[in-house]
Every structure is written in structure tokens, then in C-alpha cells.
Amino acid sequence: MARHFHLTADGGSRGNPGPAGYGSVITENGKIIAELYDFIGVATNNVAEYSGLIAGLTAINEIDATATVDVKMDSKLVVEQMSGRWQIKHADMRVLAQSARSAHNPSLVTYSWIPRDENSHADRLANKALDQQAGGGEVVQVQQNYLTERLLSSEKATTIYLIRHGETVLTPFKKFSGDGPLNPELTDIGLAQVEKVAVAVAQFKPEVIIASPLKRTTQTAEAISRVTGLPIVFEESWIECSFGIWDGLSIDEVKERYPADYQAWISSTGFAPPQGESYDNVALRIDAALNQIAAEYPGQRVAVVTHNGTIKSAAKVVVGAPADSIFHIDVSPCSITTVSIWPSDGLRALRSLNEQAHLQP
């Protein structure tokens, strides 16, 4: 009778790209069979994550080539690509996926996504590989040189224009406006703003429009659609952070009614407002959403109409900033933030933040 294994795998890059390593944990009947980890040099997060998967499947195949395997990873990109739900359009990513399929009979392998905190064992092993191969000051120069090479290379990056929606009735008062039932529409000022940003975005010649399905982002995306002639693809992953019972309240109102919760919220991005969502969770889904765009639209120009919290989270994850940096980023209504992602290796660059020149008289 064939054996059955569970495999958790992870990988990480300190710099994306930068020094990279992977970790894999193989278990059978709840017992750890193998712990694998290795340093792979300068690479991106995507390459490191695939490397962890390939190493784990290769080891399982050597133990029992007929074994069934349940793979669990916190990389939505790898899980969705290996499950066949996301197309793999870039050649280098296809090579990695094919290596994973070749490592063990793909008909014997199933994939599922897990939150990062459920993949902590493999993550610790990946960090162990990195810690043992820390490169000191020279690593920074390698990362800088690598980014320069990508910026000057002939490969066409996927360019993502992150557009915040126009003003709503809550915007001038700095009130929490998440995904709650209020779902405000644009004001007259907001409608004027979206007409201006639509003209600015059209000059970039986008090939795709993606939008959060809330009313304010739908109205903004519709203006861009009218100018560009492009259809709108609605994606739930780009919806605003949920602020739960705080939705519609001002900061002063939240401080007065929920002082302890507010203090916890500004002290930790892992804290979620009651019935709401933490900024850490927003960062996880936006990280995956960026990867999905790069995988599905390699080398294309993509306009994403979204929200304050999601754009700030995108800026944070792209540059690898500390978690609490999200409290120190400001994104204005109908501003444009631009990100580049090179599909072959997942390298990301923040090209601009909170552009508003198109809104000036």
C-alpha cells in the first residue's frame, strides 16, 4: 500500500531579490520524517518558495515514488499555479513549475493554501538557512546591482497603476471607511476627481482594468473604462480593509468609544478592530494579489482601482518595509501609485507613490 505524506514548504528572500533560502517539512501520520533547508544564493521570494516545494517533493519521491502527497503552503502564487487555477505565462515560472511536477507524479499531489502562521515550521527552516549564510555588507551591493540590472534589462515588467477612488462623504472627515454596509458613493467633488484621473490613466495606455467591487471604486473604474474603452475585471482581493464596528466613525469617536481597542490597533498591525480585519491580513492578500497580476498579465500595463489601506499595504510589501510603516504612508483620493514587477523572477519596484499632479487646476 502506498504511503501518504504531508509536505509544508516555504521560502524567503531578504531583499526580494536578495539572499534567499527555503525550508520543507515532511510528515507521515503526524511524525516528522524529514526537515530540509538550504541557502540558494540571490533570488526572489517566488523562486525560494518554489525551491522549497521542489526539494520536498524530490525527497518524498526518493522515499516512495508511489506515495500520495498533501502540499500546504502560504504562497498563493505557487498553490494556484500548481493547482492549475492560475495560468503560468512567463517562461521562467513555467520552468520552476515543471521542475515541481517532474519531482513527483503530479497526479499524486494535491495543493492547498494555509495562513503564514500555520506554516511557521517551514518558515523557521528557511530563516535558518538564511541565518547560516548571512552575507554582511556585500549583500546590499548585490541587491542594488540586481535591481539595476532588472531596470536596464530588456525584459518587460508588468506595470501596475494603483488608483485610489475619489472622495466620498466620509473622506473629508477622515472617517473609517472599509467594506461595511455604508458602502458610500462618490460626492460631486469625487466625481470631478475621477474624470481627471481617468484622463491621466488613459495616457498610460493600460491593457487591463481591475477594480474592487465597492461602489466608490466601481464609479471610479467606470470613468476610466469610459475613457479607455476597456472592460472592468472586479476582484474581491482588492477590497478595502474591514474596520468592523468602527466603519463610519471618526478617529476621535473610536478613541472615545473603544479606547483600549484603538490603542491596540495603533500599537500592532496584527490587531483587528472588532468584527474587522488586521492590516497584517490585508498585506497577505495584497501580496498574493500582486503576484496574481504578474502571473496573469506578464509585461502588461494594469490599472487597479482600489483603496487607501490596500495601496498603502502594496507599497509596504513591495519595498519590504516594517509592518508598522503602513501608519506612516498617506494615499490621497484619485492619486496614482505605480509598481513594477518582473514576471521572470518576481522582483518588485515602487516607481511612484501618491501622484496627484493630474488633479491640479
Mean pLDDT calculated for residue range 231-238: 97
Question: Under a CB-based contact definition with an 8 Å cutoff, are residues 2 and 68 in contact?
Answer: yes
pLDDT of residue 2: 78
* Nearest residue to 104 via CA among 60, 50, 63, 48: 60
Tell me the helices (H) and strands (E) count for the chain, helix number first.
Answer: 11, 11
Whether residue 305 sits in one domain with residue 211: yes
**Do the bridges between strand 18-28 and strand 4-13 make them parallel or antiparallel, or are there none, so unpaired?**
antiparallel
The CATH number of residue 52's host domain is: 3.30.420.10
Whether residue 198 sits in one domain with residue 242: yes
Q: Does residue 153 form part of some domain?
A: no
Whether residue 309 sits in one domain with residue 273: yes
Asked which of 146, 172, 198 is the last residue of a domain, the reply is 146
Among 143-147, 186-190, 263-267, which is the least confidently predicted range? Answer: 143-147
pLDDT at residue 16 tops 90:
no
Whether residue 174 sits in one domain with residue 30: no
Whether residue 106 sits in one domain with residue 78: yes
Q: Does residue 339 form part of some domain?
A: yes
Domain that holds residue 173: 158-359
Whether residue 262 sits in one domain with residue 175: yes
Q: Residues of the chain with pLDDT > 70: what percent?
A: 94
Q: Does residue 251 form part of some domain?
A: yes
Most confident of 26-30, 82-86, 158-162: 158-162
The CA distances from residue 137 to 133, 134, 140, 144, 161, in Å, are: 13, 9, 6, 12, 33
| Separation CA 292–CA 186 (nearest Å) | 29
Sorting pLDDT into bands at 50, 70 and 90, what band is 156?
confident
pLDDT of residue 151: 59
Q: Does residue 179 form part of some domain?
A: yes
Whether residue 202 sits in one domain with residue 112: no
pLDDT of residue 87: 85
Q: Does residue 215 form part of some domain?
A: yes
> What cell was used for 6?
504531508
Reported as a single tens digit per residue, the pLDDT across 83-109 is 999 988 777 788 899 999 999 999 999
Question: Under a CB-based contact definition with an 8 Å cutoff, are residues 302 and 208 in contact?
Answer: yes
Mean pLDDT calculated for residue range 328-344: 93
Place of cell 503602513: 326
Q: Does residue 74 form part of some domain?
A: yes
The CATH number of residue 340's host domain is: 3.40.50.1240
Number of domains in the chain: 2
Q: Which residue has the higher pLDDT, 193 or 43?
A: 193
Instruction: Calculate the average pLDDT of the chain.
Output: 91
Which residues are paired to 113 by β-bridges?
Answer: 73
Whether residue 265 sits in one domain with residue 338: yes
pLDDT at residue 274 tops 60:
yes
Question: Under a CB-based contact definition with an 8 Å cutoff, are residues 7 and 121 in contact?
Answer: no
pLDDT of residue 77: 92
**Do the bridges between strand 158-164 and strand 208-211 make them parallel or antiparallel, or are there none, so unpaired?**
unpaired
Whether residue 164 sits in one domain with residue 65: no
Q: Does residue 65 form part of some domain?
A: yes
Q: Does residue 152 form part of some domain?
A: no
pLDDT of residue 145: 57
Q: Which residues are catalytic?
A: 165, 240
